[in-house]
Structure 1
């Protein structure tokens, strides 16, 4: 198994359009996130990374959403992507405004994913849309997430599946200029193990996108076929989405029920010697 740490930083995507099937991946991840975010309540939600910033959370009850991206270029690309998405989907935009939430009212923070400018136990939810696949040190990112998340906070992580057709195409020498060749393709079992070591409980996992991802899809799989593959062949999906929750169990001291009696008692020994001392003195 290769180490998760990279000596050189990989190429980082600025938008979902950098992939041949990027818009389809973004749409599939958004559908799952819309369902997951309805369970997350609180005050602050952070979308970590450039790809996460382009996932609209219109169904989230949390109003304050922060997008942390590496540079100003990613801010511009994210705003442009969200603007195009809103023009293509007017129903989602109108629904968000009816709920009192603007899909483009989120604030942006420029910074690296492994250095979060947030206080400890202050964030109620995180979204890492394929952020670990393009990270130089994914362990450091998860440690920062663990530091800043609340004791019952949620984290949503999506990633590419190396056991899929896309993982096999990554090994082949085709389309080397594609950014997917720089992605790590961590297995979901490995991500779940990292989360459990940090004290997270895996709530749910869904398999999405049964495609090679390296080529522009010429046709759309029907929803029925997608459901069939997700039910009977989940291991071959191109991507997955994990929902985990932080669990902190308080430590309480347990008092012993039985009290052990000491074997030696100084008071008892002194009282035992007193009569013998008096009898010896009187005999003289």
Structure 2
């Protein structure tokens, strides 16, 4: 997937998120992201892509940015608390942030529509501070929606944006592990069948609680929370001299006759 195709894919995703199914997904992800980010502390946080979701709305860091590509709609970008728009136009594979400068990065549906998803993750690892956190949203290929998408590609009737390369959660966890980012929490959601109308999606609302209990890994979308681990860091204690000779043992005095 070249850069031009990637840009078209992101625009297609933006349009899809306005559909009934997209609204259904956004509602689940917004609630989950609010819960996840509310207790993540630090100074600098960035949301990359998908301005239709305000992934940092519940977060209380003083510096928050909404990053998007130049072809994304700037009218929908997140606003700062004072009402001033904060946006960074960038290439997701080359983030304009210093190494180890961010406490939190959120990637809602970025990797599956990126030209180089591995490079995007490498850049995220670079800009995160040690113990910095990343949250990733993605479509689950092992779901009814994933199956419907596969059938739709054969019949030229896609349900999700056609150009997406959907990444399974086990595969994503392997990528994160290679970058020394350990997954701490993961969530699945959106268990309704791939319907195209709000009426039918609402009719299957009861499947949400049933899916969480009986088939939790078959949700249409997932959210992964990981922390950047830094190897080789040890607590330094006092340097003891192992060659110090042992103190002589006290010898009890004996009575002389």
- How far did residue 67 of structure 1 move? 1.1
1:62 aligns with 2:61: yes
CA shift digits 1:55-99 (9 cap, x unpaired): 2532211132111111154222x24xx69xxxxxxxxxxxxxxxx
1:195 aligns with 2:176: yes
Correspondences of 1:223-262 after superposition (within 5 Å): 225-251=207-233
Match among 16, 27, 31 for residue 18 of structure 1: 16
1:149 aligns with 2:128: yes
- How far did residue 202 of structure 1 move? 0.8
1:185 is paired with a residue whose SS is: coil
1:184 is paired with a residue whose SS is: coil
Name the residue aligned to 1:126: 105
Unmatched runs of 5 consecutive residues or more in structure 1: 1-5, 84-100, 260-284
Would the alpha carbon gap of residues 16 and 214 (structure 1) be closer, same or farther in structure 2, given more than 3 Å must change?
A: farther
Would the alpha carbon gap of residues 56 and 188 (structure 1) be closer, same or farther in structure 2, given more than 3 Å must change?
A: closer
Would the alpha carbon gap of residues 7 and 59 (structure 1) be closer, same or farther in structure 2, given more than 3 Å must change?
A: closer
Name the residue aligned to 2:250: none
Is the helix fraction higher in 1 or 2? 1
Max Rg structure:
1
- How far did residue 218 of structure 1 move? 2.2
Q: Quick check: 1:52–1:127 contact (8 Å CA) kept in 2?
A: no
Q: Quick check: 2:136–2:223 contact (8 Å CA) kept in 1?
A: yes
TM-score, with normalisation over the residues of structure 1? 0.72
Name the residue aligned to 2:39: 39
TM-score, with normalisation over the residues of structure 2? 0.79
Correspondences of 1:103-118 after superposition (within 5 Å): 104-118=83-97
Structure 1 moving runs of 4+ over 6 Å? none
CA shift digits 1:14-57 (9 cap, x unpaired): 364424311111111111100110221111111111x1563253
Name the residue aligned to 1:276: none
- How far did residue 179 of structure 1 move? 5.2
Unmatched runs of 5 consecutive residues or more in structure 2: 244-257
Name the residue aligned to 1:136: 115
1:181 aligns with 2:162: yes
Name the residue aligned to 1:206: 187
2:81 is paired with a residue whose SS is: coil
Q: CA RMSD in A?
A: 2.9
2:87 is paired with a residue whose SS is: strand
- How far did residue 13 of structure 1 move? 3.0
- How far did residue 146 of structure 1 move? 0.3
